[in-house]
Every structure is written in structure tokens, then in C-alpha cells.
Amino acid sequence: MFLRSTVLASIVLVGCGESSPNEQAAKPAPVSPTPAAPSNDVFVSARPADAPGITEAKKSAKKGETVRFLGRIGGKKVSFIDGNAIFIAADPSLVSCELMGDEDHCSVPWDYCCEDGDALREGTATIQIVDGSGKPLRQSAKGMGGLDESKFVLVEGVVQDRNDEGVFIVNAKHIWVGGKPTRADHMGGSM
């Protein structure tokens, strides 16, 4: 568990153009032995009632509790974990590279490399789509239910791990997938 939290924390904390020494070799803890599809009720088509952003949800969340929050897929250069149904989301109040400056402000639009490091640490979450035993499915979450970088997600799930250094891992029960924002409307796609 400690290794998994450490690996996921390093995934969340590395920014645009940076890489941690362990980024290439680090892999999450063992997952389900065979690929499986998420249960039919993980992805919902009707948007659930409004929810706070990730930053607000993290403030009072405790391990084992059910939480609900709104976020956007992204927060670092690699937002989806190859071979594991795990992705990173950032609070909608944070500004990704695609919403800043010129069109080519950064080569990774869903990164948040210009954001304050503390705000990013407080405003990111690691979301896992798990099997019946609570282990991440052995396939990328990218594309599942329409998941893609920069899209809004409203997630309801159980806090699997959290700490004061920014680790916030949630096992998703329900995920609503929205659209992508634009420079003109930073919340576009959230409804």
C-alpha cells in the first residue's frame, strides 16, 4: 500500500516538461489478473446533482468515506496509466495549459505546469475503476465511458487513501463524463 501511494503521489506531483527519476520504471501495485469491463453502472449518462470541486471535497474526506466531486481529467503530462484503469483529475478552479495564453502555450494542453504547486497538490485526485475485489481493472481507463484528457468528470466513490502530502485516491462507484472547456468558457462541458 505504501509503494502504491508513493507511486501515485509521484505521478500527481510531476509537472509539465518535468519527470521524476522513477517515472519510467514506477508501476502501480498489482491489479486484477485479467482485463475486465467496468460494471454497467460505473458510467452514468445523467449528470448527478452538483458537487464541490476536488479541493473542497479533499478538505474533509476521510479514508473509507464516500465522496463526490467535479474535476477535469489532467493535472500532469500523463493523466492515464497504461494497463491500469487509473487516471488523474484536477479541480476545475485550476487552469490547464490549454486555457492559458496562446494555442501553443504548452505541448501538453491538459497539463497544469503553470499552476502553483501547492494548489495543484491540494486540487488533484487519482481515480481508480476497480473490480469486485477493489483492485484497478487491468486496462487503461482512457476511452472508457468517453474518458479523455481535459474532459470534465463528476465522480462519486470511496476514498481508498489520502494524506496531507496530496495523495487522494478514490475508487469510483459512478462517473459522469462531460465535455471539454474552451478559453472563452472555462466551465463549458461541466454541465
Which pLDDT tens digits describe the chain residue by residue (191 residues)?
A: 443 444 444 444 444 444 433 333 334 444 444 455 666 689 999 998 889 999 999 999 999 999 999 999 988 788 999 999 999 999 999 876 666 666 665 666 666 677 788 988 999 999 999 999 999 999 999 999 999 999 999 999 999 999 989 999 999 999 999 999 988 898 999 99
Has residue 88 been placed in a domain? Answer: yes
Which contiguous run of DSSP H or E holds residue 121?
A: helix 117-122
pTM of the prediction? 0.78
For position 107, which CATH number holds?
2.40.50.140
Task: Give the structural domain span for 45.
Answer: 2-15+41-177
Has residue 183 been placed in a domain? Answer: no
CA distance 20 to 172: 27
Has residue 10 been placed in a domain? Answer: yes
Number of domains in the chain: 1
Report how far apart, in Å, the C-alpha atoms of 12 and of each of 32, 51, 91, 175 are.
22, 22, 13, 20
Has residue 184 been placed in a domain? Answer: no
| Burial class, 77, CB count within 10 angstroms (exposed 0-12 / middle 13-18 / buried 19+) | buried
